[in-house]
């Protein structure tokens, strides 16, 4: 007589945090400043700029490697960074920040 085995399915739940996707960076533009003003990411990271300010802004690389163009309130712009770069807002030249790839 064959033994009867009852297999209970085992649910294995993974928290999303245990399987992070490729790292992504985000910079919020508010109060006429980039926040965080300096971030460090790995090469190949997609960095998204989000304009949460009431004014238009740009995120423009000093070396010309990316330029968001004019971002109105609520607009976003994403760029993949492969090397450290300083950037600024073309409308407000005093708005400067940096992404470090390291």
Which residues in this chain contact Cu ion in the complex, by CB under 5 A? 57, 89, 91-92, 95
CA–CA separation, 12 and 87 (whole Å): 44
Q: Is 97 left (phi over 0), alpha (psi -120 to 50) or beta?
A: beta
CA–CA dist 39, 97 (Å, integer):
9
CB of 58 to Cu ion, least distance (A): 7
The least CB distance from residue 57 to Cu ion, in Å, is 3
Between 48 and 101, name the residue whose CB sits nearer to Cu ion.
Answer: 48
CB of 70 to Cu ion, least distance (A): 9
């Amino acid at each position: 007589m064959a033994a009867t085995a009852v297999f209970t399915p085992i649910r294995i739940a993974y928290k999303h945090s245990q399987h992070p996707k490729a790292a992504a960076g985000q910079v919020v533009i508010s109060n006429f400043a980039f926040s965080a003003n300096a971030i460090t990411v790995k090469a190949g990271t997609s960095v998204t700029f989000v304009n949460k300010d009431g004014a238009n802004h740009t995120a423009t690389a000093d070396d010309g490697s990316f330029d968001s163009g004019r971002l109105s309130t609520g607009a976003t712009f994403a760029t993949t960074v492969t090397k450290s770069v300083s950037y600024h807002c073309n409308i407000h030249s005093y708005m400067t920040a940096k992404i470090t790839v390291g």
